[in-house]
Structure formats: C-alpha cells, structure tokens
Structure 1
Amino acid sequence: MVLLAVAAGCSRESPEQAVRDRIESLQEAVDARDAGDVADMLADDFIGNDGLDKQGARQLAAGMFLRYRDVSAKLGPATVELRGARDAVATFSVLATGGSGGLLPDSGQVYEVETGWRLVDGEWKLLSAEWRPKL
C-alpha cells in the first residue's frame, strides 16, 4: 500500500509542468483554429491588452481565424513562476503568423508575452495576458 501511495505521488504533475502543458494546449487550440477551445482555457475574469475580456478574446481569435486561412503560433521556452499554491506567472516569446496558404505568411510578428494563471477547480485557467511586439 505504501508503495502505491508513493508511486501515485511521484506520478503527479508539478504545478509548473501543468501550466506549461496548458500553454501548449493553448497553442494547439490556435493551430487548430478553434476559438471555442481558446476561450475554454480562459478564466471568467480574464483580462488582456487594452481591457480585452474573455468574450473579446474569443471574438479576436475567431476574427483572426476567419481572416487568415493559416494561423500559427510558435512558442519559445516558457519561464513559470509560482505565486502561492493557486497562482502562477509564465513568460515566453511567440512567433505569430497568418497567411493565405502560400509559402510565406501574409503577416507575422514576434511578441514577448507575460501570462497570469489561476488554479480553478483543479484546472489552470489563463487569468491575464499582456503581449508586446518584440521587433
């Protein structure tokens, strides 16, 4: 019994890794062009640049997916810092591109991103995001 308890405890994902996995899931939702999945990862009180809320973020994602047939987000390594047991901050860079299916994207930009995360009912939700063009 003790060995089973120890094994179960060892297989548990660290909070830092759980946040990294959620960031990866967010990238996958963008790559899949799924605005609903993007919105599902946001906290109800999400806030982004210029007061962007959860509904606005969903609409922004949907608009980008309609405008560009090919949308891609390539993330750099994330740094995750826990702030207590239920909050975390993650920073990373992202290359965001959108195109019409040709060899080169129609538009692209590298951003420096700082995100805030909160553990809600056992799941990490994106609480805030601030992005600044890097180039």
Structure 2
Amino acid sequence: MRLALPILAALLVLTVAACSRTPDETRIRETIAAMESAVETRNPRDFMAHVAEDFAGQEAGFDRPSLHNLLRAQFLRNESVGVLIGPIEVTIQAPRATATMTVTLSGGAGGLLPERGAIYDVETGWKQVGGDWQCISASWRQR
C-alpha cells in the first residue's frame, strides 16, 4: 500500500499536467491576436516571429521576406495602422491547421479617421514548430 500511494500521486500529477495544456485552437487564436497586436504597435519583428521560414503567400514568389517587406512598407506609408479581425474559424488536422477570418485593415496619418481601409477574407495555414504554431501560408481576397 505504501508503494501504491506515491505511484497514484505521480499518475494524478501527470494527468493534471496533461489536462492543463492549452488546446491547439486556443494557441492559434492567441498567436493571431499577438500578430494583430504586433501590426498595431508597428513591430514587424514580433509579427514575423510567428511566420514560418517556409511561408508561401497566395502569389508565386510571395515568400517570408516579401511579407516582411510588405509590412515595413505599410508602416512607412502609414503613421497609424489599424487591424480588426472578425470571427476566426480554426480547423485542426494535426500536425497542421487552417484558420479563416475576416480582416479589416486601415491606415493613415494618425488622425481621427483613417484615410485608407479595406476588408479581406483571409485563409491561413499553420504548422507546429517546436511546440508553437507558425503560419506557413496565407491567401486573401478583398471584399
């Protein structure tokens, strides 16, 4: 009986630890929120930390460096950048996932109203890299 008690305690600890792991869908949503925050704070490096090295955009040749350059160009063009992400639908097909959402982007000189804006339907692909989810693909269509 003395030996059974420590084994049961160890099993209980392992079970609780396994159950406390954040679900993949939640982790992807949190990553998208962090990317949104990085854009709004004009921090391309933090945004790109969530983009996989083998990222591919919807157009041929649109790779990770192209995405990084696009972000920097938008920050140079717009003093203020706004992002509003609509409902996110996440589908897990381990070890991959897909997240679709509506994204409203705005930009301008930082006044009360933005000077530019557009709404996009976005589909992103994700994979696990070292326990984290990273974006491996993106396609978008302006509404």
Task: Report the Cα offset of residue 4 of structure 1.
Answer: 2.0
Structure 2 unmatched runs, 5+: 1-9
Deviations 1:5-48 (A, max 9, x none): 22212211111111111111111111111111222211111011
Q: Distance in 1 between matches of 2:74 and 2:41?
A: 12
Task: Report the Cα offset of residue 49 of structure 1.
Answer: 2.7
The aligned residue for residue 99 of structure 1 is 108
SS of the residue aligned with 1:4? Answer: helix
**Which structure: larger Rg?**
2
Q: Distance in 2 between matches of 1:27 and 1:33?
A: 10
SS of the residue aligned with 1:12? Answer: coil
TM-score (ref. length: structure 2): 0.88
Deviations 1:59-79 (A, max 9, x none): 100110111011011101110
The aligned residue for residue 59 of structure 1 is 69
Alignment match of 2:89 (pick from 44, 67, 79) = 79
Q: Distance in 2 between matches of 1:76 and 1:7?
A: 34
The aligned residue for residue 29 of structure 2 is 20
Task: Report the Cα offset of residue 109 of structure 1.
Answer: 0.6
User: Once superposed, which parts of structure 1, at least 4 consecutive aligned residues long, lie more than 4 Å away?
Assistant: none
Q: State the identity as a percent.
A: 38
Are 1:94 and 1:113, in contact at CA under 8 Å, matched by a contact in 2?
yes
Task: Report the Cα offset of residue 101 of structure 1.
Answer: 1.1
Tell me whether 1:127 sits opposite 2:127 in the alignment.
no
SS of the residue aligned with 1:25? Answer: helix
Task: Report the Cα offset of residue 90 of structure 1.
Answer: 0.4
Letter in 2 for 1:58: H
Q: Distance in 2 between matches of 1:101 and 1:72?
A: 10
The aligned residue for residue 32 of structure 1 is 41
Q: Distance in 2 between matches of 1:87 and 1:27?
A: 21
Are 1:39 and 1:55, in contact at CA under 8 Å, matched by a contact in 2?
no
SS of the residue aligned with 2:69? Answer: helix
Structure 1 unmatched runs, 5+: none
Q: Distance in 2 between matches of 1:96 and 1:72?
A: 6
CA root-mean-square deviation: 1.1
Letter in 1 for 2:49: D
